[in-house]
């Protein structure tokens, strides 16, 4: 988002909402949303190795270095917190894979392992994860553009159907679709690393 702020593409509530719609529907649905669904599929089949393979695959498909590093950091932290909240989950195994260097770490994988442990349905897990991203990005926009809290609430409300559509998409995609993000979004994420001034980490 910040790269688009810097070049003036995002400068008000409407342009932020347009960017957020694209980000959720063209990137998050094909990465985090699909990854969560695939973790549930693997666990239902009793194939934990498929979860670890997915972690490595999504890391390889995340082209912007800064995003890949951030995903690893947030993924590990999510797993650490989740392992405390749900010690019966497979997050301890995930942390062991991370410590051994066999996995990279990704928040969607960690969140899916936690959601599965508490018997959340896959669609609800995807929806919660995507809307958490919407909320976080909106709060960034409230401060960075700035658009104000009221506009931020309007944007979040306008994202309900966008998130619902992204969930429906993630539920029908295949592994071949994983990481099929919009090139413009990925290029902006790559540019963010070299921006002269930044307020947020990727």
- 8-39 confidence digits (pLDDT tens): 999 999 999 999 999 999 999 999 999 999 99
Average pLDDT value for residue range 48-61 = 98
pTM assigned to the model: 0.93
The pLDDT of residue 202: 47
Average pLDDT over residues 145-169: 98
- Whose structure tokens read 């590093």? 69
Give the domains, in start order, of the chain with CATH numbers.
Answer: 2-192 (1.10.4190.10)
Would you state the structure tokens that stand for residue 100, as one six-digit string? 């051994």
pLDDT at residue number 194 = 61
Phi, psi dihedral angles at 196 (to 5 degrees)? -65, -40
Residue 132 is predicted with a pLDDT of 98
Whether residue 187 is predicted with pLDDT greater than 80 in this model: the reply is no
Flag whether pLDDT at 197 surpasses 70.
no
| pLDDT at res. 193 | 60
Q: What is the mean pLDDT of the chain?
A: 93
The structure tokens 């409407």 sit at 14
Note the pLDDT of residue 63: 85
Task: Write out the DSSP string of the chain.
Answer: -HHHHHTTS--SHHHHHHHHHHHIIIIIIIIIIHHHHHHHHHHHTT-HHHHHHHHHHHHHH--SHHHHHHHHHHHHHHHHHHHHH-TTSSHHHHHHHHHTTS----HHHHHHHHHHHTT--HHHHHHHHHHHHHHHHHHHHHHHS---HHHHHHHHHHTHHHHHHHHHHHHH--GGGTT---HHHHHHHHHHTT-SS-SS--
- Residue 199, pLDDT score: 57
């Amino acid at each position: 988002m910040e790269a688009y702020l810097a070049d003036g593409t995002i400068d008000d509530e409407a342009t932020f909402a347009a960017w957020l719609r694209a980000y959720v529907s063209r990137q998050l649905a094909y990465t985090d949303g699909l990854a969560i669904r695939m973790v549930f599929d693997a666990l239902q089949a009793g194939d934990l190795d498929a979860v670890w393979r997915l972690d490595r695959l999504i890391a390889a498909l995340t082209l912007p270095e800064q995003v890949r590093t951030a995903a690893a950091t947030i993924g590990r932290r999510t797993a650490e917190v989740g392992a405390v909240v749900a010690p019966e989950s497979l997050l301890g195994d995930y942390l062991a894979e991370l410590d051994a260097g066999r996995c990279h770490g990704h928040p969607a994988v960690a969140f899916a392992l936690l959601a599965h442990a508490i018997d959340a349905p896959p669609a609800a897990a995807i929806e919660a994860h995507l809307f958490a991203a919407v909320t976080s990005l909106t709060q960034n926009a409230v401060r960075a553009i700035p658009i104000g809290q009221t506009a931020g609430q309007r944007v979040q409300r306008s994202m309900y159907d966008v998130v619902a559509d992204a969930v429906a998409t993630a539920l029908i995609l295949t592994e071949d679709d994983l990481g099929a993000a919009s090139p413009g979004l990925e290029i902006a994420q790559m540019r963010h690393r070299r921006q002269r001034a930044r307020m947020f980490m990727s």
